[in-house]
């Protein structure tokens, strides 16, 4: 089956986390599943921007991106993190090919605003080069940076990695998408919700239970499911391992 895994940037520099992800991907490949591994890089991007004296601002968990931040974002995501993941997988004997949305127009995006607020050079995926992706994932784990090709300018656009994973999963007609983060799922009143529905999401967002990066993540789960993906989960590395072996873990997103 086709599986899209999205791994968050909070732990992408943590050896134990990377070992867990590698083991998971190895197991899935051995079982002949086709994998796209979309990665974020939030923490490292913020770190580089800080050292460049660029202040980071988020609108509903989405990073406002000006031209300088986009350069730094592309460097970290499509360069540093993407290649780090490719190397780690290959070291474990897993064939991996790294690309960003820009390469072979794998993901073409269009600029967006959010509730009328300008987000700078931020876009959402409007087209995926499905033929190329299908060919690649037969042979390789496709390690994908979410930076995408701007349909109108031919430049790059920053795309939140969760949205990119949802778009990829929908265009590819994946059966499963897992948003793997540094939290075990969507937490409400101290416990992980086994499932979240769209109606509950709106309420929990309004009440301030769901904030920051969890907002685009749940929206992405909903988009994926509406886009035809059978199963969407938000969980951590341990939860993803359980899901891969057939046990539910974390939070399933349903409409």
Ligand X SMILES: Nc1ncnc2c1ncn2[C@@H]1O[C@H](COP(=O)(O)OP(=O)(O)OP(=O)(O)O)[C@@H](O)[C@H]1O
User: Contact, 150 vs 109, CB < 8 A?
Assistant: yes
User: Which of 37, 42, 121, 178 touches ligand X (CB under 6 A)?
Assistant: 42
Q: Tell me the number of residues near ligand X by CB under 6 A.
A: 21
CA-closest candidate to residue 143, choices 173, 183, 113, 103: 103
Interface residues toward Mg ion, by CB under 5 A: 213
Report the residue number, 75 or 187, with the smaller CB distance to ligand X: 187
Q: For residues 224 and 220, give the distance between their C-alpha atoms in angstroms, rounded to a whole number.
A: 6
Whole-number Å distance between alpha carbons of 200 and 246: 26
Which listed residue (48, 112, 132, 187) binds ligand X by CB under 6 A?
187
Q: Is 41 in the site for ligand X (CB under 6 A)?
A: yes
Which runs of consecutive H residues, i.e. helices, occur in the chain?
15-30, 42-51, 67-74, 82-91, 130-139, 161-172, 198-206, 214-226, 237-244
CB nearer ligand X, residue 132 or residue 195: 195
Using CB under 6 A as the binding rule, whether residue 211 contacts ligand X is answered as: yes
Contact string 220-239 vs ligand X (x = CB under 6 A): --------------------
Alpha helix (H) ranges present in 33-150?
42-51, 67-74, 82-91, 130-139
Q: Which is nearer to ligand X, 95 or 212 (CB)?
A: 212
Q: Which residue number places its CB atom closest to Mg ion? A: 213
Which CB, 8 or 86, lies closer to ligand X? 8
Question: Could you say which of Mg ion, ligand X, none residue 120 binds, taking C-beta under 5 to 8 angstroms by partner kind?
Answer: none
Residue 201: is it exposed, middle or buried by C-beta count within 10 angstroms (0-12/13-18/19+)?
buried
In what helix (H) or strand (E) does residue 2 lie, and over which residues does it extend? strand 2-7
Segment near ligand X (CB under 6 A); pick from 26-34, 39-47, 87-95, 225-233: 39-47
> Tokens 């290959």 belong to which residue?
90
- Binding residues for ligand X, rule: CB under 6 A, are 8-10, 40-42, 61, 161-162, 181-183, 186-187, 209-214, 217
């Amino acid at each position: 089956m086709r599986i899209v895994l999205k791994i968050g940037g909070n732990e992408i520099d943590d050896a134990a986390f990377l070992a867990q992800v590698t083991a998971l991907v190895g197991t899935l490949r051995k079982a002949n599943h086709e994998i796209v591994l979309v990665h974020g890089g939030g923490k490292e991007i913020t770190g580089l921007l800080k050292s460049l004296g660029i202040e980071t601002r988020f609108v509903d968990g989405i990073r406002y991106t000006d031209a300088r931040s986009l350069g730094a974002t592309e460097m970290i995501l499509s360069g540093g993190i993407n290649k780090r993941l490719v190397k780690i997988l290959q070291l474990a004997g897993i064939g991996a090919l790294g690309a960003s949305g820009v390469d072979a127009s794998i993901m073409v995006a269009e600029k967006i605003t959010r509730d009328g607020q300008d987000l700078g050079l931020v876009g959402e995926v409007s087209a995926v080069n499905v033929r190329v992706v299908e060919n690649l994932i037969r042979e390789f784990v496709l390690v994908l940076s979410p930076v995408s090709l701007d349909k109108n300018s031919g430049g790059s656009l920053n795309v939140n990695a969760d949205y990119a994973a949802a778009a990829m999963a929908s265009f590819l007609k994946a059966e499963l998408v897992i948003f793997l983060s540094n939290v075990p799922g969507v937490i409400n009143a101290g416990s992980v919700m086994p499932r979240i529905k769209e109606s509950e999401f709106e309420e929990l967002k309004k009440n301030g239970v769901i904030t920051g990066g969890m907002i685009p993540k749940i929206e992405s789960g909903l988009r994926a499911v509406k886009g035809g993906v059978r199963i969407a989960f938000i969980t951590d590395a341990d939860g993803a391992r359980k899901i891969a072996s057939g046990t539910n873990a974390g939070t399933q997103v349903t409409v």
